[in-house]
Structure 1
Amino acid sequence: MTAPLHVAIIMDGNGRWAKARMLPRIAGHRRGVEAVRRVVRAAADLNIGTLTLYAFSSENWRRPADEVSDLMGLLRRFIQSDIDELVGEGVRLAVIGDYRALAPDLVALIDDAIARTLANDGPLLVIALNYGAQAEIAATARRLARQVASGELAAEAIDERVFEGALPSGGLPPVDLLIRTSGEQRLSNFLLWQAAYAELLFVDTLWPDFGPDELAGAVRAFGARQRRFGGL
């Protein structure tokens, strides 16, 4: 069975999980953090080299201010409580998206966590924070346009390889498997360039209930598919 090298997950369903139990939405988000811990460990066991998790989109600012504040608080606690374990297990941490627009103390925590795991040679855990794929692509186009205007780059030299290398997340490998939990079937502005040939898997499981068995099942489903990349 061919294993995916890069798995990306849209973690959806925290609010519905809480609503079904007549709990506040923050309870669903807390259980969602527990699911993150389970899945990060399971990904390492399954030899997934890169795991990218959609934690907070650039559109999530439209949510109520108290919910956004709760999400940022959970992120702080996750970094503070789990960074030692990530370091010890050899996990490398990276963040994509405009995370520097977040609160300064949170930015400092993220920068410190990235620095502490930089020398690790284990799996790569990528957190998408304040991330939007369309904004990423537009910013890359502007950057390349400025280089063309200044004479640093010929317009004819811009191809897929050059564009991908100019993406802020250009160091990421292509996504092999993109999973969305909770039964919703859309990409929600997530890794649109990197997922060009990803296998898409939409599962009904709500994110707080997603764990090692569900991830292993997704990997098995991936292995059963034939990837042609436009060929026969």
Structure 2
Amino acid sequence: GKIESAHGGTLFLDEVGDIPLPLQVKLLRFLQERTIERVGGRKAIAVNTRIVCATHQDLESMIHQGGFREDLFYRLAEIVVRIPGLAERHGDPVLLAKAFLKRFAAEMNPSVTGFAPDALAAIDAHDWPGNVRELENRVKRAVIMADGKLVNADDLDFGKGDEEDADVLNLKSAREAADRRVIRHALARSEGNISSTAKLLGISRPTLYDLLKQYDLQV
């Protein structure tokens, strides 16, 4: 449906490297034939749309590992624009972090006005393997966690802290550990009120209930 709705325009596919192999086949077929079939239909529908993709992964390595189709790669890679990661853009992480803080503070914790010097130094020194998304998520969590006017380095949680960090083995478990800490802190700030906690976290009540169940957290 997304491809058909983009007829006459541009369709942006973010993180194309995460597309499962069966869907890669369908995307390749569309790029070759420029037609689609609706679910349950048999009629080919011509669609004229420009496809723009983005990924943080090394697709050529994924091809060698069998995770991405080589023919699809060459269909997509007619024009490639490489955007350097944050680690290669000195000064940008701090500028972006300040912009994120301003936005999240207005939405979630108006008492926060900026970063402490140790936080700015930590942001500047970090390698940012997750690039802008990692930066955005860390700043969001830090704004929620901050108790004073300034976000400090500990609020950014770069893995030098509590017992949970000792058990972090991969990105998934690292995120789960950080989520638990943020949810606990938000619950404490909201005195256990579910509606207030959900609003502080920027999520819906059902989503918060799901997270509480997923992480076995008690209100």
TM-score range, shorter chain: under 0.3
- In the superposition, the TM-score normalised over structure 2's length comes to 0.26
Higher strand share: 1
Of structures 1 and 2, the one with the larger relative CO (CA 8 A, separation 6+) is 1
- In the superposition, the TM-score normalised over structure 1's length comes to 0.25
